[in-house]
């Protein structure tokens, strides 16, 4: 320990140490996630707000490590982005998501407009071969490309806007849906809209939570919906927990929603029963 930290470590040492040890354990455990079969997808229904019809789902990743137990995605996904493990994990998500989607599709359980949304990290989007990987899987599955939607956050294109534009454009051109996740939480979101080929905006839960409490946040939600529609995008609100939030969103013209009001993320078996 460098001398200048001695005082700090003296006082906070054990906590700091434990955090570091825990991080190292997590990094090591992460290597086992894909080969050890420790990952699972859960599915959260997406609802058409006007008709309350089930028109899609978002696949969300869960990790139960043999060595460190269950770890929340908020914790292990940033770590996997740091270590690069997100590439193998992201491929697994694409494979597994499309495999389940194909099962439901082949069983004739899906409405024509049903789409499965898969989260893609910015590291994946920036990786050469990402677009080819998605399109190859779609082609192999035989599914209509519009059944699949890719959710990316703004951090995916601040790095290289031109490149992101080209990649997302290639997905859109092939008929795959592209959604901007956590919309409104990043920088200068609106300027991206005119240059990015996206089909959907996803309003972050933090704005939905303030509906009915914070008049400015409500105005922001209203503005996002109006602008999205001007650009020909549909709008999804995440984290809808109350009928009051649903009512406001519906009145503002929000197209789709997901949240605990309708259903938490559920296992694949449970989701299949909802179809």
Residues of this chain that bind Ca ion (CB under 5 A): 119, 151, 181-182, 204, 214, 217
Q: Which of 7, 14, 74, 112 binds ligand C2E (CB under 6 A)?
A: 74
Query: Residue 16 or residue 62: which is nearer to ligand C2E going by CB?
Result: 62
How would you classify residue 47: left for phi > 0, otherwise alpha for psi between -120 and 50, otherwise beta?
Answer: beta
The listed partner (Ca ion, ligand C2E, none) that binds 217, CB under 5 to 8 Å by sort, is Ca ion
* Least gap, CB of 244 to ligand C2E (angstroms): 13
- Whether the Cβ atoms of residue 256 and residue 236 lie closer than 8 Å to each other: yes
Query: Residue 9 or residue 92: which is nearer to ligand C2E going by CB?
Result: 92
Residues in contact with ligand C2E, shown as a per-residue x/- string from 16 to 45 under the rule CB under 6 A: ----------------------------x-
* Least gap, CB of 220 to ligand C2E (angstroms): 17
State the Cα–Cα distance between residues 168 and 160, nearest whole angstrom.
12
Cα of 143 vs its chain's centroid, Å:
21
Q: Which of 91, 95, 217, 241 binds ligand C2E (CB under 6 A)?
A: 241
- Whether the Cβ atoms of residue 39 and residue 89 lie closer than 8 Å to each other: yes
HSE, side-chain direction, 13 A CA sphere, residue 136: 7
Query: Residue 16 or residue 48: which is nearer to ligand C2E going by CB?
Result: 48
SS3 161: helix
State the Cα–Cα distance between residues 100 and 216, nearest whole angstrom.
40
121 binds ligand C2E (CB under 6 A): yes
State the Cα–Cα distance between residues 215 and 263, nearest whole angstrom.
27
Please tell me the count of residues contacting ligand C2E according to CB under 6 A. Answer: 22
- Whether the Cβ atoms of residue 229 and residue 209 lie closer than 8 Å to each other: no
Tokens (6 digits) for 110: 């899906």
Q: How many other β-carbons are positioned within 10 Å of the β-carbon of residue 98?
A: 22
Query: Residue 165 or residue 242: which is nearer to ligand C2E going by CB?
Result: 242
211 binds ligand C2E (CB under 6 A): no
Per the document, the length of the chain is 275
Query: Residue 182 or residue 193: which is nearer to ligand C2E going by CB?
Result: 182
Write out the residues near ligand C2E by the rule CB under 6 A: 44, 60-61, 72-74, 77, 93, 119-121, 181-182, 205, 238-241, 258-260, 265
């Amino acid at each position: 320990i460098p001398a200048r930290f001695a005082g700090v470590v003296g006082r906070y040492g054990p906590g700091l140490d434990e955090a570091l040890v825990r991080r190292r354990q997590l990094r090591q455990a992460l290597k086992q996630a894909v080969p050890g079969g420790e990952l699972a997808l859960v599915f959260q229904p997406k609802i058409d707000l006007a008709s309350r019809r089930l028109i899609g789902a978002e696949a969300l990743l869960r990790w139960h490590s043999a060595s460190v137990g269950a770890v929340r995605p908020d914790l292990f996904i940033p770590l996997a982005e740091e270590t690069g493990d997100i590439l193998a994990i992201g491929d697994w998500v694409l494979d597994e998501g499309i495999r389940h989607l194909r099962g439901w599709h082949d069983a004739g359980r899906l409405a024509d407009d049903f789409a499965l949304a898969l989260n893609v990290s910015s590291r994946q989007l920036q990786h050469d071969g990402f677009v080819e990987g998605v399109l190859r899987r779609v082609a192999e599955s035989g599914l209509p490309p519009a059944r699949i939607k890719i959710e990316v956050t703004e951090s995916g294109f601040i790095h290289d806007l031109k490149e992101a534009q080209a990649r997302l454009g290639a997905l859109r051109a092939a008929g795959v849906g592209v959604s901007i996740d956590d919309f409104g939480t990043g920088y200068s979101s609106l300027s991206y809209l005119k240059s990015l080929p996206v089909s959907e905006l996803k309003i972050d839960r933090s704005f939905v939570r303030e509906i009915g409490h914070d008049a400015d946040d409500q105005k922001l939600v209203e503005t996002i919906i109006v602008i999205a529609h001007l650009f020909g995008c549909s709008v999804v609100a995440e984290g809808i927990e109350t009928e009051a939030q649903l009512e406001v969103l519906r009145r503002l013209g929000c197209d789709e929603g997901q949240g605990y009001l309708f259903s938490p993320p559920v296992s694949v078996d449970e989701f299949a029963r909802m179809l």
